[in-house]
């Protein structure tokens, strides 16, 4: 039994975008649809930086998110605590479980 994981922004079933096991590993993971709406702090499409984590934080519907680049793509996670850095976000998420 695994819970259905929903996109925290639009409530779409995340398994339409990612496989369930993958989604398990990322707290606050957003679906690909919402991911495409992401903007940087200047309101523009975030630039991709394949060698590092790119522009962070980013925003989807004014909600702060953090983006990790990996496997030639990226994942975007909602930050409900408005953390000051990606590391702080991770620390909070790992204490939550």
Residues that bind Zn ion (CB under 5 A): 7, 9-10, 12, 31, 34
User: How far is it, in rounded angstroms, from Cα 64 to Cα 79?
Assistant: 6
User: Beta strand pairing status for 73-78 and 58-60?
Assistant: unpaired
| Cβ 41 to Zn ion shortest distance, Å | 21
| Cβ 95 to Zn ion shortest distance, Å | 25
Contact call for residues 20 and 2 (beta carbons, < 8 A): yes
State the CB neighbour count (10 A cutoff) for residue 53: 13
State the CB neighbour count (10 A cutoff) for residue 5: 18
Q: Which is nearer to Zn ion, 48 or 61 (CB)?
A: 61
Q: Which is nearer to Zn ion, 9 or 58 (CB)?
A: 9
| Cβ 42 to Zn ion shortest distance, Å | 22
Q: Which is nearer to Zn ion, 62 or 94 (CB)?
A: 62
**Spatial CB neighbours of 71, under 8 Å, sequence gap ≥ 6:** none
| Cβ 9 to Zn ion shortest distance, Å | 4
Q: Which is nearer to Zn ion, 34 or 58 (CB)?
A: 34
């Amino acid at each position: 039994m695994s819970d259905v994981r929903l996109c925290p922004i639009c409530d779409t079933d995340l398994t339409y975008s990612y496989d369930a096991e993958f989604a398990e590993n990322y707290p606050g993971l957003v679906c690909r649809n919402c991911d495409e709406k992401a903007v940087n702090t200047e309101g523009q499409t975030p630039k991709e930086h394949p060698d590092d984590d790119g522009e962070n934080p980013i925003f989807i519907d004014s909600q702060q998110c953090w983006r990790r680049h990996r496997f030639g793509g990226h994942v975007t996670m909602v930050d409900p605590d408005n953390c000051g850095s990606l590391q702080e976000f991770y620390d909070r998420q790992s204490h939550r479980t």
